[in-house]
Structure 1
């Protein structure tokens, strides 16, 4: 290195040179550190890991080798670790609908039919409780036709129709289900026993029934 020349003492020039060299070294160190961090960030696959060590910092080649090994180990661990299974959460089963939890309402298609017509009936089942409940509604509610005074049972929709398979349904509070039925205008008996006779003109009533739950009666007429 050249001997400094100038009006100031030589040691001042040496100090200035040493300071300039130190600044250059610091800048270079920062640049090298930034380049190394960017290179490491480009090699990572998204997994990050941190570690604390008290040993001396490794050389550049050793650090690069360590970083590559750590990345490979992290990738292997990620590929062999099973991901948690996500799916629908099982909901607790609703309590059975007791008879006190349900209400039935029956309707008639029209107030008067002619003898030989096929009157149509409808019913609505309502969950009147404050909680969801379930009930086997496979057979559906039964329609029953009586004389207007209720003394004589003339027909029931399940007399000649075998019950279908079980079909459990869950009803939310206030939820309703509707069913319909058709009457051929003839008498029937349980298990479809006996002769089926045409019901004559007169005043009649129909009720809906589900187990022990029974609707209010709805009147209608058969006319000649």
Structure 2
């Protein structure tokens, strides 16, 4: 007891007491830490135990055995006959549906060839020969009538037509333009006829012995005595002339 209260050693007594106090403090700290750990563990354990415990899994009853893996595998692997039949039927139907879709599409309309005309066609202008006849001696200002014709020079029957746009009758004296049917469209009456080979379409036209101008009007100057030429011209055909002399 005396050694406990009065430590014996080579060092001073205060040194031993300081060491004892340090040891005691260390023990108190360790004890406090241990108590704190125990308290925390106790709290966490009570919290865990407070949560609901999941129910135990019970095994199925012995009298209703679960299907074996082999049975389920074989059932899923082999389809029923009706399923395979419907699958094969749909597989056979799908390729046949494409041709029916293309077959139902409307074909492109092919233009029908133009029918070949069965009747006579227009005579080629180069196969027509024009004729022009009339009085060749006239007095200045004298009216006259010309007889004209277009002869079908082809070997077949064809249609001859005359219009103010395709035919002109004109009268010149040298380079002096005296009269022309182009100045008055009414001077040429449209006409058309089916003409056999070497037959002709004939008609007449008049000249009043005056000078013409556009708009179906006459000029006041009277043609003077001299030589004049009447020319009949069909587009595409060779022209024909009639020589006339106007005397005093």
TM score, norm. by length of structure 2: 0.46
Alignment root-mean-square deviation, CA: 2.6
Give the distance between the partners of 1:194 and 1:115, measured in 2 at CA: 15
Alignment of 1:1-224 (within 5 A): 92-108=118-134, 110-137=135-162, 139=164, 141-147=167-173, 149=174, 151-162=175-186, 167-192=191-216, 195-224=219-248
Give the distance between the partners of 2:239 and 2:170, measured in 1 at CA: 11
Give the distance between the partners of 2:147 and 2:122, measured in 1 at CA: 24
Query: What is the CA distance between 1:212 and its match in structure 2?
Result: 3.2
Aligned to 2:86: none
Aligned to 2:44: none
Query: What is the CA distance between 1:104 and its match in structure 2?
Result: 0.2
Q: Is the 8 A contact 2:233 2:240 kept in 1?
A: no
Q: Is the 8 A contact 1:126 1:175 kept in 2?
A: yes
What are structure 2's unaligned runs of at least 5 residues? 1-116
Looking at secondary structure, tell me which structure has more helix per residue.
Answer: 2
Aligned to 1:24: none
Q: How many residues align?
A: 131
Q: Is the 8 A contact 1:99 1:211 kept in 2?
A: yes
Aligned to 1:59: none
Larger Rg, first or second structure (1 or 2): 2
Query: What is the CA distance between 1:166 and its match in structure 2?
Result: 5.1
Query: What is the CA distance between 1:138 and its match in structure 2?
Result: 5.1
- Find the residue that maps to 2:160 and give its secondary structure: strand
Aligned to 2:93: none
- Find the residue that maps to 1:169 and give its secondary structure: strand
Q: Which has the higher contact order (CA 8 A, sep 6+)?
A: 1
Give the distance between the partners of 2:239 and 2:125, measured in 1 at CA: 12
In 2 relative to 1, CA 212–189 (structure 1 residues): closer, same or farther, beyond 3 Å? farther
Q: Is the 8 A contact 1:144 1:155 kept in 2?
A: yes
